C-alpha cells in the first residue's frame, strides 16, 4: 500500500533507511509527485510512542539526478579531506 506524505507525495518504494542517531533516521524513498517519479530523502524522528514520523521538509531528487549526484560525491570527497 502506498503511503501519502504532505504535499501529495505517494511512496512507491522504500529504498533504504539509515539510522543517524537514537530515534532519528534518514529514509531514501522512490515517490510519485504530480504523476512523476522522483527520489525523496526525508528525515524521520520517533514520536508518539516511538512511531517514526516524517519531517515536513525533505530533499526531492530531480528527474535528471546527475547534477545532484555529482554534488553529493563532492561533499563525500570533502569529508575525507583534512
| CATH number of the domain encompassing residue 64 | 2.30.31.10
User: Which own/partner contact pairs does 14-20 have at CB distance under 8 Å and 24+ positions apart?
Assistant: 15/39
- CB distance 45 to 64 below 8 Å: no
User: Is a pLDDT exceeding 90 seen at residue 76?
Assistant: yes
Supply the range of the domain harboring residue 29: 6-79
Is residue 23 domain-resident? yes
Is residue 24 domain-resident? yes
Cα pseudo-dihedral 20, 61, 35, 11, rounded to 10: -10
Is residue 57 domain-resident? yes
Condensed to tens digits (0 to 9), the pLDDT of residues 9-59 reads 789 999 999 999 888 999 999 999 888 889 999 999 998 777 888 888 889
Cα Rg of the chain (Å, integer): 14
Condensed to tens digits (0 to 9), the pLDDT of residues 62-75 reads 877 898 899 999 99
Give dist(CA 70, CA 6) in Å, integer: 28
Give dist(CA 63, CA 39) in Å, integer: 8
Amino acid at each position: 500500500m502506498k503511503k501519502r506524505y504532505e504535499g501529495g507525495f505517494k511512496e512507491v518504494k522504500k529504498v533504504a533507511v539509515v539510522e543517524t542517531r537514537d530515534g532519528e533516521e534518514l529514509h531514501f524513498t522512490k515517490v510519485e509527485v504530480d504523476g512523476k517519479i522522483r527520489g525523496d530523502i526525508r528525515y524521520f524522528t520517533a514520536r508518539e510512542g516511538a512511531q517514526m514520523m516524517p519531517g515536513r521538509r525533505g530533499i526531492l531528487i530531480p528527474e535528471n539526478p546527475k547534477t545532484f549526484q555529482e554534488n553529493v560525491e563532492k561533499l563525500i570527497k570533502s569529508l575525507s579531506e583534512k
